[in-house]
Structures are given as structure tokens and as C-alpha cells.
Structure 1
Amino acid sequence: MRIVFWGTPDFAAESLKALLSSKHKVVGVVTQPDKPKGRGKKLTPPPVKVIAQEAGIPVFQPEKVKNNEELYKQLKELNPDIFVVVAYGKILPKEIIELPKYKTINVHASLLPEYRGAAPIHRAIMEGKERTGVCIMEITEELDAGDIYECVEVPITPEDDIVSLHDKLALKGAKLLVKVLDKIEKGEITKTPQEHSKATYAKPIKKEEGKIDWNRPAKEIFNQIRALKVWPKAFTKFRDKEIKILDAQIIDENSTGKAGEIVKIIKGKGFIVQTGKGQLLITKVQFPNSKAITADEAVRGYHIKEGEILG
């Protein structure tokens, strides 16, 4: 099939790579405009654009999609059989969705109708889910509400964080995408309507969600730390400075005491903090204007003592 691929970040890049290795033909790629990145604010292309250019595929980077007659005309000239959307970043209007022969499908990182919306991977970890997955669905005007072609389940282990789970889901989604496209082409695909009454929404992550409330149970804080490891990172006050907590382990889930107190230093590992219910061993931190370091290095370098308070 002739495919126009819509996607922007690393998650989408895996699906594009899978399509380029398949029997299907990617005839165009639509991605977000280049954005300033890093301290030098250097204009940087999205990961999807880099892959497309290396493969010699035409790339389109419209500022807007809605009411964009030029883009519509360019896409129509590509004579696409289907549009594939993976984390593109903008909602597509009806006239775009319905342009190709087989309309438009989407790779979504949740077990729909659970976690429709922008941050399904983060929310699944933050809310302590033990499983998630990827669904290939038909795009409609309502957000993530279209009929489902196929889903694959992925367990969330206690060792998973936003990075590892993101990568697992990106690879699973890419593999499932090719399988579904093969079935669509052969006329062997069936669609299942979503149970809209069971829909939940994964709202975009806000920076303030990174703030740790040490009165919460250890398990909830642990989930917060691993879900927000990339951005905004879980943070807390320490000696009037804001530090980021990057890695932790649950020591127990039942003990009580003064929330936020460093109750024990463990040489070679880090320091244990009391929460509202249970304790966490902090193993990796980042101080202001510094690189990430192990909590053991922080104990030695900043002379952290038992009895000090976080938060």
C-alpha cells in the first residue's frame, strides 16, 4: 500500500522504520516543524524527519493542518491508500482523515478505551497499572474514539520507568502496525467499536505534577518518580534548594514516621526517606546546575545526614 506517515518523536520513529522495512511504500511523511533544542537553542529536526530524509522520502512540516489547502493538494497528489498517524502532535481535520482510500489509522499506546489522550504511558505508570499495551485504531474526529483493529498487551514491571516502557510499546506498536496493514490490504481485517462508557483520559503532564508530597504512600511516590523521569522529573526541596529524585526503590510499604525525613544512610547505595506510609531508598539525584549523580555520591559530596528533611 501507498502510505503517508504522520509522526514526530522517537515513539513514531520506530513505526516509520518498520514500514520502511515492510512491503508497503511510504510515499510521504508529515511531521512537526523543526524546534529549538538544548542550551544553545539550536534548530533541531524531529526524529521522524531524520529517518525520512535518510530514506529519500518527501517531508512536509506544516505549521497548521486545518484549512491548509496547499497541504491537502500535496497529499492528494501522492495518491495515498492510507494515512498512518503515530504521535504526530496535532488533531487532523475530517477532510484529511477521509482523503485516502482506507482513510486514516493510528498507533496509540494504551489498551483503548483506557487512557485516551496525550500521556497514556506516563499515566499508566503513575496510577500503578500492572499492564498496558498498544492499539491500532481508525481515526475519527473524536479524540482516540475510533474503532479498534487490533491491540497487544504489555506488562508493566516494577523495574519499568517511562524510558523502558516507552521503548517496549514503540517496538510492539511498530510490529503490530505492519501486521494490521497487511490484513487491511488483504481485506482480512475486522473492526471492533470501543466501549465508550469505559473510556478514561490521559491528560498532558504538567510541570507541577513533578512535586513530591512526602505525605503520600511510598508506592505512589515511587510511581511518580519513574513515570516522570524524563520530564519534568520528580522534585523536592532540600536545604532550600530544589533537587530532582531520579531513581528510587521501595523499602517497605507500611512503616510510619515523619514524612520526608532521611531516616538512614546506606553506604554504597544512598539514603532512605520516610513517606506517609512506607520508606523509599533514593538511589539517583540531581542538584541544581549539576549532572545526575548516584545518591551515594550525593551523601558524600553534600554531607547528607540522617534526620535531615526533604520537602
Structure 2
Amino acid sequence: MKVIFAGTPEFAAVALQALHEAGFEIPLVLTQPDRPAGRGMHLQPSAVKQYAVAHGMEVLQPLSLRMDAKDPQRAAEAKAAHERLLATDYDVMVVAAYGLILPRSTLDIKPCLNIHGSLLPRWRGAAPIHRAIEAGDAETGITIMQMEEGLDTGPMLLVEHVAIVADDTTGTVHDKLAALGGTMIVQALRKLEQGKLEAVPQPEAGVCYAAKISKDEAALDFNLSAAEISRKIRAFNPFPGACAPVNGVNIKLWAAEVLDADSSVPAGHVVAADSQHGIVVACGRGALRLTELQKPGGKRMPASEFIKAFPLEGQRFA
């Protein structure tokens, strides 16, 4: 089969590599335009573009695929992309974390399959891994679905479950799902070749929307329970990184353990910060032992090293 691939971040690059190594012909790759990144804010290609270029694949980077876009440049690029798709000999489009909406004009050309990082219909939308961890879900997974105009509403083709364990972060779950997604999309296309890929409508019950993560969400509220805060710390690792200020210094919190002991100390106060107890902070219910922290401009440190450079005893996280 000939496959057009559309994706942008590392999650998608893993799937592109899996398709390429499985022997599928990939005549065209769509990815988002290069973006400024790093301290110098130089334009950086996406992970998908890097893989595609390294393996001699043609890359197209339109600003939009909507030919009715109000911005003339976006509309012109969308029209050019549409004409390029019509001129390309392909059997199916595979989409993974592309970041652009596929309009009806694109979906109508050939079948479009999407690699989605959740157990649909739970966590439709942009940030399914973050939201699953933040909500305390016991499991997540990959759904290979047939795309339609609705947001992640299409029928399901393949589903695999993955447990979310106590110390999982968005980073660790991402890596598990990226690898699984690559394996599953190869399986799905093999079944499609054989005419054995069956579509199952999504259940109407249990629909959740995984809103895009904003940097504002990184600020922690210690009036929440220790369990809730712990889930947020894991959900926002590695992006955007949970944080809380101490004496005006914004400290990143990367890992923590939930303690059952309640305290009469106000939420946010550091109950202990020593080599024996670690860094223990009172919460609205229960307490947290912070195990990995980072001050601005510094490196991530275990709590035992952090308190040597940044004493916290008697302080309070605002």
C-alpha cells in the first residue's frame, strides 16, 4: 500500500518510522511548518520532518488544509496542498498528532486513519495522555480510528489497553503509547490490505474532552488534596512542568510521594526539609513528600541535594 503520512511531534515520528521499516511506500509526508525553539529561537523542523528528510521522503508543510481559510496565505497553501494530494498516487492517509484539522475536502480523497492516544471515547482532543494521568485513570491505550469531520468521533478499528502505574508521568506513558501506536498502525494497514479491518462505532456514553494543556495550569494549588497534586505533577511532566513559588522563586516540582498523615499546618507549609524526612509539604488533605525539584536556571535535583542549595525548612509554597 502507498501511504501519505501526516504528523508532527515525536509521537508521530515513531509511527512514521514503523511504517517505513515495515516496507510501506510513503510518497508524501505532511507536517507543520518549522517553529522557533531553543534559547536562540531558531527555526526547528518537527520530529516527523527530521525523519522524513533523513530517509528521502518528500515533505509538505502547509499552514492550513482549509481552502476556505480567511487568511489569503493559508487559503493559498491549503489549495496547493489539496492539489498535491489529488495528484499523488496513494491508498490511505495515516494521521498522528498532526495538529491541523483535516477538512472534508481532504477526508473525501482517500480513507484516513488516525492513531489516537486514548481509549475512545474517553479523552477525545489534544491532550489525552495528560488528562488521563491528571484524572487518575487506571489505564489508557491506543485507538486506531477512521477519521471523520467530528473531533475524534470516527469508528474504531483497533484498540489496545495500557495500564497507568503509580509512578507514570506523561513522558513515560507517551513513550509506551508511541511505540504501541507504531505497531498497531502497521497491523491495521495489513488488515486493510487483506480486507479484514472492521469498523466499530464509538460508544455514546463516557465521552470526555482532553483540552490542550496551557502553561497557566502548571501553577499548583496546595489547598487541593495530596493525591490530586501528585497527579498534576506527574501529568505535567515533562510539559509544562508543575511549579509553585517560595519567597518569590518559582520552583519546578517534578516528582512527589503521597503521605496519608494529615496535619494542622496550613496548606503549602513545609513541614520538614531534612535528610531524615525529605521535603514534606502540607496539603488541603494529606501531605506530599517532594522527591525531585528544580530552581530557575538550575538542573533537576533529588530533594536531598536540592535542600543543600535551597533551604526550605519553615518556608511555604504559595
Sort the Cα spacing of 1:276 and 1:175 in 2 relative to 1 into closer, same or farther, 3 A: same
1:134 has 2:134 as partner: no
Report the 3-state secondary structure (helix = DSSP H, G, I; strand = E; otherwise coil) of the residue aligned with 2:106.
helix
Identify the residue that residue 75 of structure 2 maps to in structure 1: none
CA, structure 1 residues 268+192, in 2 after alignment: closer, same or farther (shift >3 Å)?
A: same
How far has the Cα of 1:235 moved from its partner? 1.1
In structure 1, which of residues 62, 69, 75 is the aligned counterpart of residue 79 of structure 2? 69
SS at match of 2:93: strand
Gapped regions of structure 1 (runs ≥ 5): none
**Share of identical aligned residues, percent?**
37
Q: Name 1:83's counterpart in structure 2.
A: 93
Give the structure-2-normalised TM-score. Answer: 0.93
- 3-state SS, counterpart of residue 234 of structure 2: helix
Aligned to 1:107: 115
Helix, strand or coil: the match of 1:196? Answer: coil
Question: Cα–Cα, structure 1 residues 198 and 304, in superposed 2: closer, same or farther, change >3 Å?
Answer: closer
136-145 vs 269-278, which moves further: 269-278
Residue equivalent to 1:309: 316
* Separation in 2, partners of 1:246, 1:269: 18
The separation in 1 between residues aligned to 2:146 and 2:84, in whole angstroms, is 22
Q: Work out the CA distance in 2 between the residues paired with 1:181 and 1:14.
A: 16
- Cα deviation for residue 39 of structure 1 reads 0.8
Equivalent residue pairs, number: 308
Provide the secondary structure at the position in 2 that maps to 1:198. Answer: coil
Contact preservation (8 Å) 2:274, 2:307 = no
Give the Å deviation of 1:78.
Answer: 1.8
2:121 and 2:154 map into 1 onto residues whose CA distance is 9
Of 157, 170, 176 in structure 2, the residue corresponding to residue 168 of structure 1 is 176
Alignment-derived partner of residue 259 in structure 1: 267
CA contact (8 A) 1:253 1:279 kept: yes
CA contact (8 A) 2:273 2:311 kept: no
Q: Quote the Cα distance in structure 2 between the aligned partners of 1:287 and 1:265.
A: 16
Deviates more, 1:249-258 or 1:72-81: 249-258
Counterparts of residues 190-209 of structure 1 (less than 5 Å): 190-209=198-217
1:241 aligns with 2:249: yes
Amino acid at match of 1:50: Q
| Contact 1:4/1:84, CA 8 A, preserved across alignment | yes
Q: Which runs of 5+ in 2 are unaligned?
A: 68-77
Structure-2 separation of matches of 1:264 and 1:155: 33
Partner residue of 1:221 out of 229, 239, 261: 229
